[in-house]
Copies of this chain bind each other. A is one copy, B any other.
Amino acid sequence: MAVVDIQFTAHDCGGCPIKHRAVCARCDDDELSLLEEIKYYRSFEAGQTVLWSGDPMDFVGSVVTGVATLSQTMEDGRTQMVGLLLPSDFVGRPGRGEAAYDVTAVTDLTMCCFRRKPFEKLMERTPHIAQRLLQMTLDELDAAREWMLILGRKTAREKIASLIFILGRRDASLGLGTTTVGQMTFDLPLTREAMADYLGLTLETVSRQISALKKEGVIDLQGKRRVHVPDHERLLAETGDDADGGMVA
């Protein structure tokens, strides 16, 4: 529950693990030092809520370590995840004073936050920040559109295969997990329920489809969370996408 300051507080941006991908990636040293004046770190434990939809929001920020989700909930409790935030992803919208979605830490989480008003002012004077944010937002929009195809047109089995594929691709690009030719091993950062919320399924269906993929040898589980994909192509075939990945280049 408590929001704990961690060792990052003392860090300068030079040692930041996401400095090449975050919203500040294009900033020069001068710009970084302006950002440093308005930044602070916050950390959250797995399961904590970072923000509720509608909460006043006086900061924006980046995920430094860990995984968070954005989700929407209907009155009757149905929920849909609408964003999966990994290290370097940005939270908040300049100009918006309240949270539009629930933000939840699904693993232990560290965020680099900027006070919103000063950040907005800085953005007006610093095209590098706005340029980078535009690029990141366009990437997110592409990801959202890929996600829409998954939600609207894929079967439960294809949804699960797509999720595993996406998580594996992402871990590979971050250099996590193990990747050898055509194979990979990594941890699912999400519970079955979170996967269900991501994919517009129930947790029972998620569980069944994972079991089915396992039984057929498409994937292979070490414990509930660690996944080994023996044949990348085989998994891709199960996603329903075409051979080049079916996604934006």
Contact = CB atoms under 8 A, between A and B. Distances in A.
A200 B147 CA distance: 12
Interface string A64-100: 0000001010111011101100000000010100101
- How many monomers of this protein are in the complex? 2
Contacts of A230: none
Interface stretch (A136-144, A167-175, A179-187, A214-222): A136-144
A25 interface: no
Contacts of A137: 134, 137-138, 141
A200 B131 CA distance: 34
A240 interface: yes
A141 B140 contact: yes
Given A70-B145, A72-B145, A145-B101, A78 B153 contact: yes
A119 B101 CA distance: 34
Contacts of A100: 142, 145, 248-249
Given A98-B249, A148-B80, A249-B98, A153 B74 contact: yes
Contacts of A12: none
A75 B133 CA distance: 33
A113 B112 CA distance: 39
A118 interface: no
Contact of A149 (B72, B98, B145): B72
B148 A74 contact: no
A249 B100 CA distance: 8
A56 interface: no
A245 interface: no
Contacts of A70: 145
A242 interface: yes
A229 interface: no
Interface in A94-153: 95, 98, 100-101, 124, 127, 130-131, 133-135, 137-138, 140-142, 144-149, 151-153
Return the 7 tightest CB-CB contacts between A and B, nearest first: A152-B200, A151-B151, A82-B145, A144-B144, A80-B152, A80-B149, A78-B153
5 contacts: A74-B149, A78-B240, A79-B153, A98-B249, A137-B138
